[in-house]
Structure 1
């Protein structure tokens, strides 16, 4: 079981574990590791790395990856190339039944393949809407649709496929990234629409997937100035406690987006960012650089939080759920309809 003191999800800087990373893995504040393309060479190599990570840690940890499909796919060689989610939206527009069928199949195939490497979950599905504002490298074809009403059924179907493979899902980027053009990796995006506008144009997929049981939500490093003029959603008690917890009745795990992003770094040094995130987030993501990970750990004293522990442990993969035959059937279905072609 992941301990009640666990808080941080850290990044590993390469394909080997450094002495500092070994120390952090064994620290009671460590809840897990997020993997990136920099960690990946082949399915066999990543399996060995994950085995080493788990064996090095003194307690159970989560292993996660951003493997949502399209241009956000960290493991490529040896994996099925998952199309961008917008492709599913195009299919859904023509034939909703096929759109949902293929969404579920893709969710299963994605989850099955990373589960074979002993990854607990992918940070997906994305619930942002594509708009003329966000039609860029930030959102664009990562979104299921330009129609807010079509995102939930497609995302739910995708998530159901992940669940069939024993994997949790993470809805992102709450309360919606679709109406800003700036990239929070590079700057702090600011949205000046009011809550009524967000409730109509961004929040519906989050509301619906929370109702459908999504166990984790990742908030955006975006300042929604008319709702909370002081803090972006990822640091905002208004957004994460008053709205997400109380208004939307979300009782699952809140996972911060990476605290090294520019949208977060606008709010002080790493210790200050961690302090802001701990007010409402259950898991805090710090992927790099090593000096920032070190500062994050130095800023916190381990303290037990049984509720946080329960939320975090709910994200562990169900290892009994995988079916090789179901994977084969769903992959063949996707190939037959040219949704996917072959393994990279």
Structure 2
């Protein structure tokens, strides 16, 4: 039973990393800029991962803007906030461009046998959050929903699932959970606008969600990523997709010092799988341990739905080129 998606060190799969892929609780690999030097290299790396573990999840943070891990040889996707600014002037065009961006992201990643990107960001745009900022589409939750819907249409055109983040909303919270454990003291009524995009995406069938390493003390003293209260709330809203923890190496997760206990705490809270991205010692240590899911069969089903959807590059090529052309033609609208 898979429990953790791991980061790897460089542009080639090391022998000890190949061995980790065969551990029963390893779910797959998340890739970063350190794992990329060229398209040819990325193709070799993904093929090597698949040869070691055909059912591995291969994923990446490839949102666009400052969070785009692969650049040389890939289309530069604007930050999602650019689509929001365009929406304020030309809402129909903004949705068309967001859909085109989804097609380009998915097509370019799927060519390398990468299953999915962690996108879209469903947080609200607010100057209070430097870490989110223009990664968010807009400050208006209804606009976030419309643009996220459009991006997801583009992803689905190419057979890629979406992962919405960071539930129940990071955009209006001061502090970066990469470096600290932020707190949001607002009550549920005050946070309703932040939750709105997630609720609407659940209603429209989003396949996966990522909870935030943020404490909401009015609800629970634990970060949302470790909170049975928050993750049960997702299920109560009707969400039956995969819950994927944010990186358990981040400072917002380090109140639990033992990496294996961190993984188990997230699973106990209701996550289907976790991420451990950058602490390679912790990754090796964690994969020597056993883990237990609250509902192993349901988690296995949810994770299987994220894997390798059918992809026919030749059939999808016209849609891809049309999407690229739309983004090129209207690039000035996204400045």
Q: Out of 89, 106, 110, which is 1:111 matched to?
A: 106
Q: Out of 201, 223, 226, which is 1:232 matched to?
A: 223
CA shift, 1:299, in A, is 3.0
Distance 1:32 1:340 in 2: 38
Structure-2 residue corresponding to 1:38: 34
Q: Out of 93, 99, 119, which is 2:94 matched to?
A: 99
SS at match of 1:173: strand
Residues 337 and 73 (structure 1 numbering): CA distance in 2 closer, same or farther, change over 3 Å?
A: same
Distance 1:329 1:294 in 2: 44
Residues 184 and 86 (structure 1 numbering): CA distance in 2 closer, same or farther, change over 3 Å?
A: same
SS at match of 2:85: helix
CA shift, 1:318, in A, is 1.9
Q: Out of 45, 67, 73, which is 1:72 matched to?
A: 67
**1:61-81 deviation digits (Å, cap 9, x = unpaired):** 110000000000000000000
Query: Does residue 311 of the first structure (1) align with residue 302 of the second (2)?
Result: yes
CA contact (8 A) 1:128 1:176 kept: yes
CA contact (8 A) 1:128 1:178 kept: yes
The residue correspondences of 1:164-203 to structure 2 (distance < 5 A) are 164-199=157-192, 201-203=193-195
CA shift, 1:340, in A, is 9.4
The residue correspondences of 1:1-344 to structure 2 (distance < 5 A) are 5-57=1-53, 59-134=54-129, 136=130, 138-199=131-192, 201-229=193-221, 231-241=222-232, 243-246=233-236, 248-279=237-268, 280-301=270-291, 305-320=296-311, 322=313, 323-338=316-331
**Structure 2 residue runs without a partner (length 5+):** none
CA contact (8 A) 1:128 1:139 kept: yes
Q: Identify the range of structure 1 (257-266 vs 320-329) with the bigger mean alpha-carbon deviation.
A: 320-329
Distance 1:310 1:256 in 2: 17
Distance 1:16 1:34 in 2: 13
Q: What is the total number of aligned residue pairs between the two structures?
A: 330
SS at match of 2:245: coil
CA contact (8 A) 2:264 2:292 kept: no
Residues 245 and 339 (structure 1 numbering): CA distance in 2 closer, same or farther, change over 3 Å?
A: farther
CA shift, 1:289, in A, is 1.8
Distance 1:277 1:155 in 2: 26
**Structure 1 residue runs without a partner (length 5+):** none
**1:144-168 deviation digits (Å, cap 9, x = unpaired):** 0021221000011001100111000
CA shift, 1:301, in A, is 4.8
CA shift, 1:132, in A, is 2.9
Residues 301 and 232 (structure 1 numbering): CA distance in 2 closer, same or farther, change over 3 Å?
A: closer
CA shift, 1:271, in A, is 2.2
Give the RMSD, CA atoms, in angstroms: 1.6
Distance 2:73 2:311 in 1: 23
CA contact (8 A) 2:3 2:291 kept: no
Deviation >6 Å, runs of 4+ = none
CA shift, 1:297, in A, is 1.6
TM-score, length of structure 1 as denominator length: 0.93
CA shift, 1:21, in A, is 0.8
CA shift, 1:112, in A, is 0.5
Distance 1:236 1:257 in 2: 13
Distance 1:196 1:321 in 2: 46
Distance 1:301 1:139 in 2: 32
